Structures are given as C-alpha cells and as structure tokens.
Amino acid sequence: MDIYIRPYEEGDFSKINALSQAESWTNLVEKQQDAKQAWANSTVAFVAEVNGEFVGCIRGLTDGFISLYICELIVDQHCRGQGVGKKLLNYVHELFPKARMELLASQTSKTFYESNSFRPFYGFRKIIEE
C-alpha cells in the first residue's frame, strides 16, 4: 500500500469529522466548529491518502524541541492494520526528532501504541467546568 502524507487543508475537515463520528468521538462531533478551528491552529496537522483517497489524519502541538503532543490520530476502519497510523506517527516524529512524542490512548488503541514502542505514563485531564 502506497501511503501519501500531506499537510491538512480546510477541505479535509468534513472527512475528519466523519471519521470522528465513526469512532464515536462525540465531543469533537458536537463541537464541530471548535474542532475545525483546532485543526486550523495546530502546529501538527497532516492527512494520509491512498490512491488519492483520504484514509487517516494526525493532529498535534509541539514546541519543536522537547514536547510533541498528539491530540488526534484517526485511521479509517477499513485501512487499519496496513501501516497508516504508524506512518503518520513516524512522519511527524521525523519532523521533530528532538521532541518526545506524547499522547493519550484508549483501551482499544493501547495495544497499537505499545506495539509501536510507546510506553505508558501517568497524566491528568481537566476542563474549565471541573
């Protein structure tokens, strides 16, 4: 499978939103305009294509030297297990090789990250209403 990585463009957002909906990421779907603005403002925003078709994306934030935080990594369910997620992660990390890559994972994605040499670490989350 020939996977092509390119920068995010505003026209990609409808496909990203559809993938978020398929993953039941309701917070991102319900806050569609905020999510769209987040993609526009992110220092890391790339999509993956196979044969010109959108198959996945990655969004994150970085200072370029110490921290590279992955906010979202989504791969179309039909393309999982074919190297798309791994290629997106590696592509971004190669852009910022000095930075450590950090992210949050769900129970269902935990084994994917562990199989790609990520190690667990402890973290916290809070929203303004809490």
**What is the per-residue pLDDT for 46?**
98
Strand-pair partners of 62: 68
Give the Cα separation of 51 and 2 in Å (integer): 8
Contact 66, 99 (CB under 8 A): yes
Question: What predicted TM-score, i.e. pTM, was given to this entire model?
Answer: 0.91
Measure the CA–CA gap between 104 and 55, rounded to whole angstroms: 21
Distance CA 51, CA 36 (A): 25
Alpha helices in the chain (DSSP H): 13-22, 26-30, 32-41, 84-95, 110-115
Q: Is the pLDDT higher at 13 or at 28?
A: 13
Model confidence pLDDT, tens digit, residues 41-51:
999 999 999 99
Instruction: List, for residues 86-119, the tens digit of each pLDDT value.
Output: 999 999 999 999 999 998 887 788 888 888 888 8
Give the rounded distance of the alpha carbon of 31 from its chain centre.
17
75 neighbors 58 (Cβ within 8 angstroms): no
